[in-house]
Chains A and B, each alone.
Chain A
Amino acid sequence: MSAKSVGGPAPAAWLAIAGLLLVVAVPFAAVVMQSIFPELGQGSFAKPFSSFIATLNDGALIGMAGNTVLLGFCVVLASAVVAVPLGVFRALYRVPGAALFDVLLLVPFMIPPYIATLGWIMTLQPRGYLQQLLGFNLSPFLFSLAGMTMVMAFNTFPVVYFAVSRTVEAVGARYADVGRVFGATPARAFWRITLPLSAPGLAASLMLVFAAAIEEYGTPAALGRRAGFQVLVTGIDLRISDWPIDLPGASIMSLLLVGLSIVTFLGQRWILARRSYQTVNGKPTAKDKRPLGAMKWPVLTAFIIVSFLATGVPLLSILATAMSRTISGGLAFDNMSFDNFLQVFQNSAGALGALANSFSLGIGTALITGLIGVTAAYTVVKTKIRGRLAIDSLTIIPNALPGIVVAVGLILAWNMPWLPATPYNTPFILLLAYCCILLPQTMRYSTAAFQQIGDNLEAAARVFGASGITAFRRILLPLVFPSLASAMLLVFALASRELVASVVIAPVGMQTIATFIWRQFEQGSIGLGMAMAFIAILITTLLPLLLLALLRRSGLVAE
């Protein structure tokens, strides 16, 4: 099991450490310093720790922390209930139209949560699209914990669906078949063999969902406040946007969130540390899937319903709003037009520049997080160097840091007067922010992939004379590449729509897709904002699909 003898971890480890220090440690250190020294922004170290008591004594804090955890668990549960069965069927059986469903279930990733939430509000509120079409509304349901859970779960469950379908597929039916040969029933073989072996992927994805749910701002802000449901992130945002600004208080509350995330992460590690999950060992696996038989129609119906709710409803609502001349005109034929789309293409309010900015930043972020993520994951899983846990934990932190706090940390760190050169007020500060926020994605996916690769593969390469770097590049990298590539595509999509940090930290005069949409909403041009959102969703969905198709043709990605 030891990889020490395999050697050659140094270059990967150093690259990972340098990247992590720059991307994660710097802003995080600034946040910690800010929480300790309230006047850090003015460059003063006076009154250390003076903000802790006031912040932690706030009676509302416990309620907010409790709500945060409750919401996180509800979203994880709902995502798992929706995604795990679908993922398992997708992996083990021939689902008709599986490729199409993969695309449809990919789209929710690409819909920014605040846009999806607004889409749901405009559909379900009184006189919303549902009532205009069918005569009833679901407003009481939407503005409740249940409604919030539904909207957020439909946004995040694809993380679980794709993780489960990929890992279960990798585990394959082969191990379960062995169980069957020895007399296990199909159900028993699934519960005792397939599911446990898929645990790394499942646990990693559920953890990402939990971290995303406790860090999410848009949905709790739009739905929760009306239900009297305040979470830590909305509390943090209030401290930052309510004059007088309370940066130390916000930093302290963020550290609480980080603590929550680390606990989840340690729990996940504990589950995984108890046994080995290596299933990729160089032996050929049969990829033939079973026919669904009598289950065909129920399974197909489930896929259709979930796709419609997760992708159809928000997209249709966004499209309807984007095409409405006036919101008060409603779904009437003479109220429909393409004016808002035309405005985007005529570069109204800098729309095209915003698209170009966001997509360049998205590509840059995907490449950088991919590189740091894969080297860090390799260092953590496949080497025995000291401080592995520290590296692993460092990649967890951004998961829980709210975007707005990352932004503040970056300003504090990079706007210090004595710095000879700084990325602040250049597009690079956005790149740093996105890399920090999204690094956990590539890191977690690559870690799960590395955990499934047997050490004997790398060892075999070394035996045949390959150097450590060659073994990494020729053996390990191709094996984790499918996971890494999908994580990088996800990062691209998430980076090109990031809102919360961008609003605060964008260099002067620069717009991104999300800040453009947000400004349109603020000024009451909901239709124009939605048209931009629709175009952005379309591009972020089609671009990665095109890329995947090209990669497949070139044989880099199997399937």
Chain B
Amino acid sequence: MFKSLKSITLGAVAAVLMAGVAHADITVYTAGPQSLIDKMSEGFTKETGIKVNVFQATTGKVMARIEAEASNPVVDVLISASWDTATDFEKRGWLVKYSSPNAAKVPDFLKSDYAVAQGISALGIAWNTKSGTPKPSEWADLTKPEYKDMVNIPDPAQSGSSFELTAALAGQDDFKLFKDLQANGAIIAGANAEALNPVLQGAKAAVFGAVDYITLAAAKKGESVEVVFPASGTVIAPRPAMILNSSKNQDEAKKFIDYMLSDAGQKMVAAQMLMPARSDVAADRPLISDLKLLKFDNAAVYGKRKETLGEITKIFGGK
């Protein structure tokens, strides 16, 4: 036993030394899909020779890590799934001002002085085509008796875009839609993937406000599921990329942002079924110009976040 312990220790020491040698040039924290960041860093390294170290998790987990690391930050580039992060970090003074030359074709509402979108997702109704229910076309359709007990809603407390959709729709009719949904047996069912899974198997017919690119990718793989964007409007979630001012590699980080917005980088975004941030890059899916967007006052909506979530919790009976 002690002999093997010794060899383990030796191996461990060797591993540490190796880790020291393989020091990467920039560190990217991302809430985006793993395969996207993998391809993007591979392409970036090939083009610039700069290595990329990646940490990928949900927005919440990425933020928890950044918060805990705050006294000694590690991250150079952060890609969040919620624009709210960019606004908040800018307010805290944590970001570097940068406008990439490649951002010229990114519409103004998808960039600021401190952040620029990598890609955009939208929310829609994910509907199982074999569920035996009629195809919904509007949010309100899901309150009809055909969808009794067949609707999942992603938890607005766990997803920024779900929260924006909830707040925007609730603001239109003072939560009536959500009360009707609850009366029709709809339930709040965890984060995005958790809400979609039962719809794939057919336990539920539809997700009210599903993240579109995951559903579109599932459909591409042959799942009998479709995304419907209601004509009355929906919300989009631009995924902001930003450079932290604690970064010691800001020049390399800027090059990464440039690459992300290059033709090659934006095509990788489109291949994930996300909308590219640049308006001149094509994608095999509905784009922002094809969608009607719900109008809401961002600042006011986030100002009342706690109240809105509290009301939703009250309606859906959580404790």
Contact = CB atoms under 8 A, between A and B. Distances in A.
27 contacts: A40-B71, A121-B197, A127-B201, A226-B188, A226-B189, A228-B318, A238-B157, A240-B61, A243-B84, A326-B224, A327-B223, A328-B128, A328-B201, A328-B225, A367-B4, A371-B5, A416-B72, A428-B16, A504-B64, A508-B24, A509-B24, A509-B53, A522-B58, A523-B193, A524-B214, A524-B218, A526-B197
Contacts of A126: 202-204
Contacts of A428: 12, 16
B64 A245 contact: yes
A125 interface: yes
A230 B202 contact: no
A41 B63 contact: no
Contacts of B70: 41-43
Interface of B: 1, 4-5, 8, 12, 15-16, 19, 24, 27, 33-35, 38, 53-61, 63-65, 67-72, 74, 82, 84-85, 88, 128, 130, 155, 157-158, 160, 187-190, 192-194, 196-198, 200-204, 214-215, 217-218, 221-225, 317-319
B319 A503 contact: no
A411 B203 contact: no
Contacts, number: 179
B222 A326 contact: yes
Given A225-B188, A242-B60, A521-B193, A326 B223 contact: yes
A243 B58 contact: no
B149 to A, nearest CB: 8
A241 B60 contact: yes
B305 to A, nearest CB: 9
A229 B319 contact: yes
SS class of chain A's interface: helix, strand, loop or mixed?
Answer: helix
A340 B185 CA distance: 35
A263 interface: no
Nearest to A348: B35
Nearest to B38: A349
Interface residues of A, number: 67
A125 B189 contact: no
A135 interface: no
A64 B57 CA distance: 26
A506 B56 CA distance: 10
A442 to B, nearest CB: 14
A121 B71 CA distance: 42
8 residue pairs, one from A and one from B, having the closest CB atoms: A241-B60, A127-B202, A43-B71, A508-B53, A327-B200, A125-B203, A411-B68, A41-B70
Given A243-B85, A509-B55, A523-B33, A41 B27 contact: no
A328 B69 contact: no
Contacts of A244: 88
